[in-house]
Amino acid sequence: MGRGTGAARVAGDFIRHAAVRALDLILPPACPITGERVEKPGFLSAKGWAQIKFIDDPVCARCGVPFAHEYGEGFECAACIAEPPSFARARAAVVYDDASRKLIVGFKHSDRTELAGLLAQWLARAGAPLIRAETILVPTPLHPRRLLARRFNQAGLLAAALAEKTGAGLILDGLKRLRATPPQQGLTRPARRDNVAGAFAVNEARRGAIGGASILLIDDVLTTGETLSACARALRKAGAASVDALVLARTVRGGLEAL
């Protein structure tokens, strides 16, 4: 029985590897940014890597927007001082520009889910100051109708891959979206705030785990932070001890000249 089971496993692995090789011959893996052929799915080409702009210190202590100059520990940008977000801190891995947009659009809308491992590495690097032994990752949720259409929540995939990489806790269904909101793209900041006001709530089945917890919200893109703030308010209302945020990419006010 043991030998038969082992032989079946080996045969199954051989068939799967052969299928992958055959698929690569028909549809060679390509860089999601440049379209160039790459060694394996989920890889970037050298030219693709060169176009990614990683975010490093100095950044705003609150929202993580990069600064052109060092202003000292704890310094916050003018926007956070004028309108403090509801999360304590946010960090982003890369700048949201043409290159990272292609990467994220491919991940979200073209089923390039094999990129999750690479993107989780970037998140782990950017989120190192936010991830502690007691941290629990909670992805921003999709409305059920959008989830059904897309078949997966990109924030959930990122959170799961990051949890596996860092050992952080994970509650995939910690939040739920109460209503289907129009896309935030193209809206002003006040309109974005109104669009997501009251749109999120904590899943009652997870309230006990969230109460008193250190939560790290996971999402793909931060623009004004209104979606993350709305999620943070729902988590804090449910008793979370702290709420930070970690995103794959963020827009940079003032363009790349700010870097």
Q: What are 71's two structure tokens?
A: 């202003």
Q: Specify the pLDDT at position 238.
A: 97
Q: What are phi and psi of 176, to 5 degrees?
A: -130, 150
What is the pLDDT at residue 254? 54
pLDDT digits (tens, 9 = 90+) for 33-81: 999 999 999 999 999 999 999 999 999 999 999 999 999 999 999 999 9
Per the CB < 8 A criterion, the answer to whether 175 and 138 are in contact is yes
Q: Check residue 143 and give its pLDDT.
A: 85
Q: Give long-range contacts, CB 8 A cutoff, 24+ apart: 31-38.
A: 32/102, 32/103, 32/106, 32/107, 32/110, 32/112, 32/115, 33/99, 33/102, 33/103
Helix (H) or strand (E) holding 220: strand 214-222
Residue percentage of the chain with pLDDT more than 90: 69
Gap between the Cα atoms of 66 and 127, Å rounded: 15
| Range in 27-31, 93-97, 116-120 with the lowest mean pLDDT | 27-31
185-215 pLDDT, tens digit per residue, is 666 777 777 667 778 999 999 999 999 999 9
β-strand partners of 202: 175
User: In a 3-state reduction of DSSP, which class is residue 88?
Assistant: coil
Top-confidence residue, 110 or 225: 225
Q: Quick check: helix, strand or coil at residue 224?
A: coil
Mean pLDDT of 165-194: 82
Q: Which tens digits make up the pLDDT trace of 101-120? A: 999 999 988 889 999 999 99
Mean pLDDT, to the nearest integer, of 146-151?
A: 80
Tally: H helices and E strands in the chain: 10, 7
